[in-house]
Amino acid sequence: MAKKEIRIEDYSADPAAQQMLIRAEELGIGTAFTRASEMSPCNIGGAGMCCKQCGMGPCRLTKEGAVGVCGATIDTIQARNLVRAIAAGAAAHSDHGRDMAFTLKAVANDDADGYYIRDVAKLRMVASKFNIAIEGRSPKEIANDLADLYIAQYGQQRGEIAPIIRAPEKRQKLWREHGVIPRGIDREVVEALHRTHIGDDQDPAHLLNHAVRTSLADGWGGSMMATDISDILFGTPAPVLGQANLGVLKDDMVNVVVHGHEPTLSQMLVAASQDPEVIEYAHAAGAKGVNLAGICCTANEILMRQGIPAAGNFLHQELSILTGAVEAMVVDVQCIMQALVMLAEKFHTKVITTSPKVKIKGATHIEFDEHNALAIAKQILKAAIDNYANRGKTQIPQVKESLVPGFSHEYINYMLGGAYRGSFRPLNDAIMSGRIRGVAAIVGCNNPRSKQDWLHTYVTRELLKQDVLVVETGCGAIASAKLGLLLGEAGLDQVGPGLREVCETVGIPPVLHMGSCVDNTRILTVLTQIVEEGGLGDDIDQVPAVGLAPEWMSEKALAIGTYCVASGAYVIFGGASPVSGMPDKVSDSADVLRYISEGWEEIYGGKLEFIPDVDEMIQRTLDHIDKKRAALGLPEWQPERYGRSGDARMLELESMSLADKRAALYGVSPN
């Protein structure tokens, strides 16, 4: 059968990406986009029907009633594969949190040159949640205790991890009843690996119960702690002007792209790039200075705090090197493609690995150490500057958009009432009245198996038209940024009338950028605060809200999806299900699929579904929101009731004669 020809426009919805893909084609260079189209996914492994847990396999279960050499059934194999993926995702996020906790400890003990406690208010707020004494103590004393507490969550063997107390009380009780509160973060990840070893846990429901516990160790544990400490050390995000897309790279500057996840590295590179010594060094090399730009979640970390531009999301990592204008791509952990090194060899770009956990053959390794961070950051930037002279022909797409990121839950609380009356009340009221129909969190990665950014932005736009307030994190947020949806009023002509009124009144964009992928915990906090504010039920599963990851690809996404489900949310993933099985061939293969949807819904009120059809994804989101509204006794969504106040009304009045205006405002006849 002839292979279907793929056009560049089918690879990405982003014009900057399209330009770079044309360049790649001209230069005969492959990218993740072309590799994905050349390599079909394995339909056995992809459906979760392959087990390689021991040397008797791999076993591929493709026939009705088939079992592995050890007798494992397809539902056991699928559940095991899913548990392992969730454990890997939880491990990645939580290990990030662990490194942040060690950095906090070092800062508290004057052993981390260049780092400071920037947000003392957040430090005091978080510490007081755990009954750490704050009055009469210095920030470093408090930080030392908090760091000790957080570090202890990893090795704790019994009891409950401390941050779980931040969930609604009813939810905590439910988790206790089902025995899924994590005892210690490392313990749950280790147990996930143990249980899925050959000859261990072979009851799918029991295995999936542990998947929930492991994911909670991520969402209400490692990730939440990572977010807390990032805010304490680098500042809690508040709105700031930024830019996104490859057009942020500069022809006359040394371009350093920082890619990965941990802000300890990227924040220090920001500081070093502004150091007079480094700027002088760049000038001496003939450049105007050092231009720092981010990729993936590290981009979000520095974008939402300092407004450092984002060169793009996950699938932009290769494309940025293809511009020929990147002197160094500095990476730490997670979502870094090995292909970068081979690609960089074709240009002058230096790929610099920095984490003791991540080396890539062929890359330059300059190990980062938080105890000596500023000096190492300067060394990295100088290596990039030295490489400026090797730059050849460049092609930087002149495509970029402005955006306003930085909507932490603290800022949302503040923006809804100011310093003295900060509150979630206006948001709850807007949902209760129907001005806002519900909330959607659209998060997660890019995946070259679907057109880059298209699913993200299509779902976002369609939900905005339906008065659904959208919050975003990770690569999804950068997708919306590239489309101009994160810029105040610029996106308001695309939203429903009720949501528009709210955005105009509060002065916010219709899509709120809430951070990186560990910052999905901010969304958990927002949902908890909505519950605590009152009027929308007494637990997260009652809030008219849905989580979506239309272009997911990483194991971390599966961990995030699962902790959101366990927290009570309906979560929809786009693309292929890793536990789909082949229902036409294997009769029991739908068990796991059913369990993570109907089974989890029965227990937790949230469910996980994989829906490849985008319109169905949107419809199910709206149906769920409306179902939750009805269950709360809220009025049906009636958009025609809104849209005649706020800026729209002011503009309408402005165009009227004085007499008509009086009639409209006071009911006085023009005659």
User: Which spans of this chain sit near ligand SF4 (rule: CB under 6 A)?
Assistant: 51-54, 56-59, 68-70, 72, 77, 198
For the chain, the straight-line distance linking the first and the last C-alpha, in angstroms and rounded, comes to 77
Q: How far is the CB of 299 from ligand MSK (least distance, A)?
A: 8
Q: Which of 348, 378, 382, 556 binds ligand MSK (CB under 6 A)?
A: 556
Within 8 A by CB and 6+ apart from 495, the residues are: 464, 465, 467, 503, 510
Q: Which is nearer to ligand SF4, 56 or 152 (CB)?
A: 56
Query: How is residue 441 annotated by DSSP?
Result: E
Q: How far is the CB of 61 from ligand SF4 (least distance, A)?
A: 8
Q: Which of 163, 222, 294, 444 binds ligand MSK (CB under 6 A)?
A: 444
Q: Of 378-397, which residues contact ligand MSK (CB under 6 A)?
A: none
Q: Which is nearer to ligand MSK, 294 or 491 (CB)?
A: 294
- 576 and 449 Cβ atoms separated by less than 8 Å: yes
Q: How far is the CB of 594 from ligand SF4 (least distance, A)?
A: 21
Gap between the Cα atoms of 340 and 639, Å rounded: 48
Q: How far is the CB of 57 from ligand SF4 (least distance, A)?
A: 2
The size of the interface with ligand MSK (CB under 6 A), counted in residues, is 14
CA angle 325, 304, 514 (to 5 degrees): 125
Q: How far is the CB of 554 from ligand MSK (least distance, A)?
A: 4
Within 8 A by CB and 6+ apart from 113, the residues are: 371, 372, 373, 374, 375
Strands 401-403, 242-244: pairing kind: antiparallel
Q: Which is nearer to ligand SF4, 77 or 415 (CB)?
A: 77
Within 8 A by CB and 6+ apart from 535, the residues are: 428, 429, 432
Q: Which is nearer to ligand MSK, 226 or 248 (CB)?
A: 226
Q: Which is nearer to ligand MSK, 334 or 466 (CB)?
A: 334
Binding to ligand MSK by residue 314, rule CB under 6 A? yes
Q: How far is the CB of 561 from ligand SF4 (least distance, A)?
A: 25
Tokens matching residue 61? 């279960």
Q: Which is nearer to ligand SF4, 196 or 267 (CB)?
A: 196
Binding to ligand MSK by residue 439, rule CB under 6 A? no
Q: How far is the CB of 586 from ligand SF4 (least distance, A)?
A: 14
Tokens matching residue 12? 């990405």
* Packing angle, helices 139-155 and 223-234, rounded to 10: 160
Q: How far is the CB of 562 from ligand MSK (least distance, A)?
A: 15
Q: Which of 16, 211, 258, 297 binds ligand MSK (CB under 6 A)?
A: 297
Binding to ligand MSK by residue 416, rule CB under 6 A? no
Question: What is the layout of strands, in order, in the sheet containing 254-259?
Answer: 364-365, 350-353, 326-331, 254-259, 290-295, 310-312, 242-244, 401-403
Q: Which is nearer to ligand MSK, 261 or 624 (CB)?
A: 261
Binding to ligand MSK by residue 11, rule CB under 6 A? no
Binding to ligand MSK by residue 442, rule CB under 6 A? no
Tokens matching residue 378? 């300067």
Return the one option of ligand MSK, ligand SF4, none that residue 18 interacts with (CB less than 5 to 8 A, by type): none
Please, how many CA atoms are within 13 Å of residue 574, restricted to the half-sphere of its CB?
A: 31
* Packing angle, helices 646-654 and 658-666, rounded to 10: 140
Q: DSSP assignment of 156-173, as one string?
A: --SS--GGGGGS-HHHHH
For residue 584, give the amino acid letter: D
Gap between the Cα atoms of 564 and 46, Å rounded: 23
Binding to ligand MSK by residue 264, rule CB under 6 A? no
Q: Which is nearer to ligand MSK, 314 or 570 (CB)?
A: 314
Q: Which is nearer to ligand MSK, 337 or 464 (CB)?
A: 337
Q: Which is nearer to ligand MSK, 415 or 445 (CB)?
A: 445
Binding to ligand MSK by residue 573, rule CB under 6 A? no
Return the one option of ligand MSK, ligand SF4, none that residue 56 interacts with (CB less than 5 to 8 A, by type): ligand SF4
Within 8 A by CB and 6+ apart from 87, the residues are: 188, 189, 192, 193, 211, 214, 559
Gap between the Cα atoms of 241 and 245, Å rounded: 14
Gap between the Cα atoms of 269 and 144, Å rounded: 25
Q: How far is the CB of 164 from ligand SF4 (least distance, A)?
A: 33
Whether residue 58 is preceded by a cis peptide bond, meaning omega within 30 degrees of 0, is yes
Q: Of 464-523, which residues contact ligand MSK (CB under 6 A)?
A: 474-475, 516-517
- Binding track over 86-105 against ligand MSK, x by CB under 6 A: --------------------
Binding to ligand MSK by residue 335, rule CB under 6 A? yes
Return the one option of ligand SF4, ligand MSK, none that residue 297 interacts with (CB less than 5 to 8 A, by type): ligand MSK
Return the one option of ligand MSK, ligand SF4, none that residue 184 interacts with (CB less than 5 to 8 A, by type): none
Cα Rg of the chain (Å, integer): 25
Q: Counting runs of H as helices and runs of E as strands, what totals does the chain give?
A: 29, 16
Return the one option of ligand SF4, ligand MSK, none that residue 556 interacts with (CB less than 5 to 8 A, by type): ligand MSK
Binding to ligand MSK by residue 604, rule CB under 6 A? no
Q: Which of 302, 329, 445, 569 binds ligand MSK (CB under 6 A)?
A: 445
Query: How is residue 329 annotated by DSSP?
Result: E
Gap between the Cα atoms of 546 and 312, Å rounded: 25
Gap between the Cα atoms of 381 and 368, Å rounded: 13
- Residue with structure tokens 């930087």? 396
Which stretches of the chain bind ligand MSK, using CB under 6 A?
A: 261, 296-297, 314, 334-335, 444-445, 474-475, 516-517, 554, 556
